[in-house]
Amino acid sequence: MVNKMYQPNQYYEEFISNREAVLANLTPEGLTLKFLWKNPDEHIINQFLDPPFFQLYFKNDIMFLLLKFRELKWIDIPCIFTGNTKQAFFSDAKNFPCNILLANSNTGKLFINKSFLMPKGITKAFIQGIHTQKDLNKKTAVEKINSIRSSYSATEMSRLSLGSIK
């Protein structure tokens, strides 16, 4: 499910943000995560070549997708789904696709565009999380995310999460 719209070593204006962020987009075909990184060096780029470890953490109606790329620290990605997403989303996938893009947020250059499969147990919990998450307005969701992040680092969330590292 590699997003053919994007080609590595090309420049895309939409990736220029002059900040670091992870943008998530969920469709029935898979999850796309756009990692916008300020001037990633070769070491960081190489970390994204192998499949990450996937884990999930649930707290106060918020689902965090946790990713661990080789030597990098855990990365937490809060997942908030609206009623429209829930209604449109039905998947019986045993291993849900996750497309990962890594781009330079200063220049828009795309380095990585790879697709990986979430493990079966994570896929099942992720899909269940989509359908059971309460509808939250943006302000409430941001407050809950900030509260959780002020109490737990991504590494601490990984210790408390669903999933296991190899």
pLDDT at 30: 84
Residue 86 is assigned to a structural domain of this protein: yes
Residue 4 is assigned to a structural domain of this protein: no
Q: Is the pLDDT of residue 17 over 60?
A: yes
Which one, of 52, 35, 50, lies nearest residue 111 by Cα?
35
When divided into structural domains, the chain yields a total of 1
The rounded distance, in Å, linking the Cα atoms of 14 and 12 is 5
Residue 134 is assigned to a structural domain of this protein: yes
The rounded distance, in Å, linking the Cα atoms of 60 and 62 is 6
Residue 6 is assigned to a structural domain of this protein: no
pLDDT at 89: 61
pLDDT at 47: 96
Q: Is the dihedral of CA 20, 147, 131, 48 positive or negative?
A: positive
Sheet architecture: strand order including 75-79: 53-59, 62-68, 75-79
Q: Is the pLDDT of residue 156 over 90?
A: yes
Three-state SS for 22-43 is: EEEEEECCEEEEEEEECCCCHH
Mean pLDDT for 51-68 is: 94
Percent of the chain at pLDDT above 70? 87
Query: Would you state the structure tokens that stand for residue 130, as one six-digit string?
Result: 């989509």
Residue 2 is assigned to a structural domain of this protein: no
Mean pLDDT for 90-111 is: 88
Residue 70 is assigned to a structural domain of this protein: yes
pLDDT at 95: 84
pLDDT at 110: 98
Please indicate whether residue 25 or residue 35 has the higher confidence score (pLDDT): 35
Q: Is the pLDDT of residue 131 over 70?
A: yes
Domain that holds residue 65: 13-160
Residues paired with residue 30 on neighbouring β-strands, in sequence order: 27
pLDDT tens for 45-56 read 999 999 999 999
**pLDDT-derived band at 29, boundaries 50, 70, 90:** confident
Mean pLDDT for 78-94 is: 69
Residue 7 is assigned to a structural domain of this protein: no
Q: Is the pLDDT of residue 83 over 90?
A: no
pLDDT at 166: 42
Residue 3 is assigned to a structural domain of this protein: no
